[in-house]
Structure 1
Amino acid sequence: MEALSRAYGDEALTAFELDFLSNGERRRHPLGASWQVPFEAVEPVRPFRWDKGTPGFAGWYYSATVRDHVGYESWLERDRLILLDRDPQVRAILAQPFWLHWHDGERRRRHAPDYFVRLATGQARIVDVRAEDDMDEGTWEAFVATQRACSAVGWD
């Protein structure tokens, strides 16, 4: 952890918070105090949208990797999930693993990445899936913030 602080500065480790569900209990801690949580073992932080007329195409994909169903909210997410499931380096996949909280200088923001992935090396990877033509300014900002948080703790 000390090496991470030196490499990326303490700012990101305290500027971001992770909010997640573990054993049915909601927990919220600074990024620097929670980045080692085994997120492949937590529960999704929000339900998937199933309502008729809701944009996207939500569903469950049975993952051979995790031997359980993993949720998705669009066909694009489902396709990425299939690719992750077929990747021999992927050992675990969890949808909606946590809320990432931060302040953008004007207001409080939050974002739930689409997937947390654990690789065979033990490395963590955060995956967000969105069609480029479906990206508004707020989405770009959330993805940039997520990248910054991931870099601070050595996640892909």
Structure 2
Amino acid sequence: MAVPAGVDQAGPCVELLYVDAVHGHCRRPLRECLTGRFEDVAPVRTFRWSRGERHFPGWYWAATTGRHVGFESWLEWDRLLLMDFDPSVVGISSQPFWLHWHDGERERRHAPDYFVRRADGSAMVADVRADERIEPKDAEAFEVTRLVCAQAGWRFDRLGIPDAVLLANIRWLSRYRHPRCLHDPAAARLREVLSTPGPLIVGADTAGDRLSTLPVLFHLLWLHVLTAEDMTVELLGARTIVHLASGADR
């Protein structure tokens, strides 16, 4: 889309307002915030639910951080699941800051949905919105956010509706994301059994009683210690071929 009127294409003059654990609400120029650990900040907006409202806010416990992360819709929740499952992600925060800028007529502001830190130290800012729900004012805010992120050296993604089959599989595995699902003896047996690819249920039965081995197997899939056939193609099932992931220890 075209750059919004009044916005400098080389990078809009932007200030960030965020919540500092020591000083509370801070508002500073973007250039002073480039090394900030925004994956650790508290949300700048409160997540509230009221009767009759169409949106669906809540808190999701992220295995990546061991902390709760807020969401404001089912789609944001879905995207949180996928970020939590991504092994390259090491930090996630929701509503990390307000971006304040002037559009040539008045001051504007926008709070991106997520700030994500990756294992290589890079950062991503994400807004979550389905294609058909992007209004002109949203598109303008997203474009300004993209320009700001380019100026800061951060990646910007506008995330829409994910692949349905992949999402269904990750939703299932997320039930087993908590470390309490890890039982070391069963995990060791599963690693050994599934060092040779085989059907999911056969591997669980070979490793022991499936009632005790299946939760561990799903937890190892969540951790990417085990891997399954392309989870964007079919739902996980008894005949899904599972094997030890490349580089995982037996």
The two structures have a TM-score, normalised by structure 2, of: 0.56
Matches within 5 A, 1:1-156: 12=11, 15-23=13-21, 25-156=24-155
Higher RCO, 1 vs 2 (CA within 8 Å, ≥6 residues apart): 1
CA distance in 2, matches of 1:19, 1:69: 21
Q: Answer whether contact 2:14 2:29 (CA < 8 A) is retained.
A: yes
* Secondary structure at the counterpart of residue 69 of structure 1: strand
Which structure 1 segments of 5+ residues have no match? 1-8
Report Cα offsets for 1:98-140 as digits up to 9, x if no partner: 0011011121110000000000010010010011111111100
When structure 1 is superposed on structure 2, of 81-90 and 18-27 the one drifting more is: 18-27
Aligned to 1:4: none
Q: Answer whether contact 2:98 2:109 (CA < 8 A) is retained.
A: yes
Report the CA distance between 1:82 and its aligned residue.
Answer: 0.2
The two structures have a TM-score, normalised by structure 1, of: 0.89
When structure 1 is superposed on structure 2, of 100-109 and 78-87 the one drifting more is: 100-109
Q: Answer whether contact 2:40 2:92 (CA < 8 A) is retained.
A: no
Report the CA distance between 1:48 and its aligned residue.
Answer: 1.1
CA distance in 1, matches of 2:144, 2:48: 24
Report Cα offsets for 1:23-78 as digits up to 9, x if no partner: 16110011011121111121110101311122211111111001011110000000
Aligned to 1:6: none
CA distance in 1, matches of 2:126, 2:35: 17
CA distance in 1, matches of 2:55, 2:130: 11
CA distance in 1, matches of 2:52, 2:84: 29
Percent identity over the alignment is 51
Query: Which structure has the highest strand share of the two?
Result: 1
CA distance in 2, matches of 1:49, 1:133: 25
CA distance in 2, matches of 1:19, 1:86: 29
Q: Which amino acid aligns with 1:81?
A: L
Q: Which amino acid aligns with 1:53?
A: G
CA distance in 2, matches of 1:116, 1:134: 21
Report the CA distance between 1:12 and its aligned residue.
Answer: 2.8
**Aligned residue pairs, count:** 146
